[in-house]
């Protein structure tokens, strides 16, 4: 019996070592069978072809929350992944669980160090803690403004000129609102989604109004600054005072459909929707940077590569190699064209295929140009709770149950209570 077990064990483990292969497992935040799984599978296969000693197993694990849960559960169960793509704002959580190692430890050669500096600086902010790089940008996005050129023409506006300031957006939106004979709105001027990720949209408003919502150490929030309160007031007023946006919350999941069916003339949404809108919009549409109040501004979003601590040196080396390979300019360009996500390095935009693509479809470069004004996505210690208290405050203000000042005061008090131990 014992002998049999030993033989079995040898067989099982032997299959891996006999071929001298290093096996890597990574979690990837996407629903199984989604259109992007094929792209990732192809990338993994391409890497294996160039690196025959390494085998890569992608595990598709649902949305960002699900993926984090599964990666943490696998870690607790003793079967950790060696690397994963997780939410860029999971950094503090992963640090607190002591799960990840900085890339600086692996990047010892001059070439590797140059690689670490090859990305857009705006994309590195969410992955850096105390000067060390823990997250390498991969599927990253920002918020952009989509506008319906046909609707602009119909309303007597210049279809090639999108609003550049808050005032312009409000006055243009007012002209774009269309009503039927009974006075019911059939087309809204603008929609900004406020379910799912309200804090993300709000970061854009407050950045535009001159304020960031948290400090780089992730232990202080800035929700009650007058400029922040005014930013929320502007958002609330679009719906409740100027009637250019529906009052109440606007659903994230169905907003794209609203825009495609012409029920709103403008929308704020992630660049991750670009390819989908391009494929289904039956009218001319434009994409531009978000409008400015005191300055332009948008948070970055999306997923980063992380290296996990629980791995053998050989595995970690292989994982590092894989991440370097998959974020190289050629692959970043392919990835950006296939998905609409931003290509993560300036070098990727210099590749011939992305140059051609941007020339044909200039909207693809808007997100890149907006990086100059970008701010990292809201991320602090106790990030889930801090984010939720801000989400609740935004929704309370939008639905009219609290004034922006009151709502943000509650959220700030909650955040201060949560962050006290981290100061």
Partner 1 sequence: MKHVYGWLLLTPAAILLVAFTHYPAVATLADSFFSAGTALRPSRFVGLDNYAALGGDPVFWQVLRNNFWFALGTIPTSIALALLMALWVNARLPGRALVRLSYFTPTVLPMIAVANLWLYFYTPQIGLLDKVTALFGAPSHNWLGNPDTVMGCVIAMTVWKEAGFFMIFYLAALQTLPPELEEAARIEGASRGYFFWRVTFPLLMPTTLFVLVNATINSFKLVDHLFILTKGGPDNASNLLLYYVYQVAFSYLDTAYASTLTVVLLALLAGFAVVQFQLIERRVHYR
The DSSP result for 40-63, as a single string, is HHHHHHHHHHH-TTEEEEEEE-SS
Instruction: Say whether residue 74 binds partner 1 (CB under 8 A).
Output: no
Are 354 and 338 in contact, with CB atoms under 8 Å apart? Answer: no
Residue from 251, 237, 158, 123 nearest 196 by CA: 251
C-alpha 371/C-alpha 337 separation (Å) is 18
The DSSP result for 300-334, as a single string, is EEEEEEEEESSS-HHHHHHHHHHHHHHTSHHHHHH
Q: Does residue 179 sit in helix, strand or coil? A: strand
Residue with token string 């930013």? 231
Are 326 and 354 in contact, with CB atoms under 8 Å apart? Answer: no
Instruction: Say whether residue 403 binds partner 1 (CB under 8 A).
Output: no
* Alpha-carbon torsion angle 12, 13, 16, 22, nearest 10: 140
Residue from 62, 108, 117 nearest 303 by CA: 62
By CB under 8 A, which span of 119-127, 139-147, 180-188, 333-341 interacts with partner 1?
180-188
Instruction: Say whether residue 182 binds partner 1 (CB under 8 A).
Output: yes
Instruction: Say whether residue 388 binds partner 1 (CB under 8 A).
Output: yes
Cβ nearer to partner 1, comparing 229 with 407: 407
Instruction: Say whether residue 72 binds partner 1 (CB under 8 A).
Output: yes
Residue 135 carries which DSSP code?
-
By CB under 8 A, which span of 130-138, 250-258, 314-322, 356-364 interacts with partner 1?
250-258
Instruction: Say whether residue 384 binds partner 1 (CB under 8 A).
Output: yes
Cβ nearer to partner 1, comparing 55 with 388: 388
Instruction: Say whether residue 276 binds partner 1 (CB under 8 A).
Output: no
Instruction: Say whether residue 392 binds partner 1 (CB under 8 A).
Output: yes
Instruction: Say whether residue 312 binds partner 1 (CB under 8 A).
Output: no
Instruction: Say whether residue 99 binds partner 1 (CB under 8 A).
Output: yes
Instruction: Say whether residue 247 binds partner 1 (CB under 8 A).
Output: yes
In the complex, what is the shortest distance from the CB of residue 194 to partner 1, in angstroms, rounded to a whole number? 8
In the complex, what is the shortest distance from the CB of residue 385 to partner 1, in angstroms, rounded to a whole number? 5
Q: Which residues bind partner 1 (CB under 8 A)?
A: 65, 69, 72, 93, 96-99, 182-186, 194-196, 246-251, 253-254, 257-258, 261, 263, 382, 384-385, 388, 391-393, 395-396, 398-399, 401
């Amino acid at each position: 019996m014992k002998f049999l077990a030993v033989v079995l064990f040898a067989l099982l483990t032997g299959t891996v070592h006999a071929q001298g292969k290093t096996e890597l497992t990574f979690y990837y935040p996407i629903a199984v069978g989604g259109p992007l799984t094929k792209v990732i599978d192809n990338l993994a296969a391409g890497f294996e072809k160039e690196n025959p000693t390494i085998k890569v197993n992608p595990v598709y694990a649902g949305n960002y929350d699900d993926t984090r849960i599964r990666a943490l559960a696998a870690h607790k169960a003793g079967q950790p992944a060696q690397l994963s793509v997780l939410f860029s704002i999971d950094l503090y959580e992963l640090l607190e669980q002591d799960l990840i190692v900085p890339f600086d430890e692996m990047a010892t050669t001059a070439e590797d160090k140059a690689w670490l500096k090859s990305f857009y600086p705006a994309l590195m902010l969410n992955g850096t803690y105390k000067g060390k790089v823990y997250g390498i940008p991969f599927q990253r996005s920002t918020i952009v403004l989509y506008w319906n050129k046909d609707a602009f023409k119909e309303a007597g506006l210049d279809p090639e000129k999108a609003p550049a300031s808050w005032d312009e957006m409000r006055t243009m939106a007012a002209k774009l609102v269309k009503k039927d004979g009974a006075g019911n709105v059939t087309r809204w001027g603008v929609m900004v989604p406020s379910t799912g990720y309200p804090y993300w949209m709000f970061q854009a408003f407050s950045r535009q109004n001159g304020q960031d919502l948290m400090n780089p150490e992730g232990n202080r929030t800035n929700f009650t600054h007058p400029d922040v309160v005014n930013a929320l007031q502007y958002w609330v007023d679009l719906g409740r005072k100027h009637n250019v946006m529906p009052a109440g919350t606007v659903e994230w999941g169905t907003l794209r459909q609203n825009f495609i069916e012409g029920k709103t003339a403008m929308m704020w949404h992630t660049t991750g929707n670009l390819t989908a809108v391009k494929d289904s919009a039956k009218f001319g549409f434009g994409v531009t940077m978000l409008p400015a109040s005191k300055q332009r501004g948008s948070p970055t979003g999306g997923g980063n590569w992380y290296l996990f601590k629980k791995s053998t040196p050989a595995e970690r080396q292989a994982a590092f190699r894989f991440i370097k390979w998959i974020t190289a300019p050629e692959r970043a360009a392919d990835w950006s064209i296939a998905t609409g996500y931003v290509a993560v390095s300036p070098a990727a935009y210099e590749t011939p295929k992305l140059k051609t693509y941007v020339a044909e479809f200039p909207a693809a470069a808007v997100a890149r140009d907006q990086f100059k004004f970008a701010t990292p996505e809201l991320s602090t210690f106790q990030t889930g709770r801090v984010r939720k208290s801000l989400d609740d405050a935004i929704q309370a203000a939008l639905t009219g149950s609290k004034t922006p000042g009151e709502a943000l005061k509650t959220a700030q008090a909650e955040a201060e209570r949560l962050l006290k131990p981290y100061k």
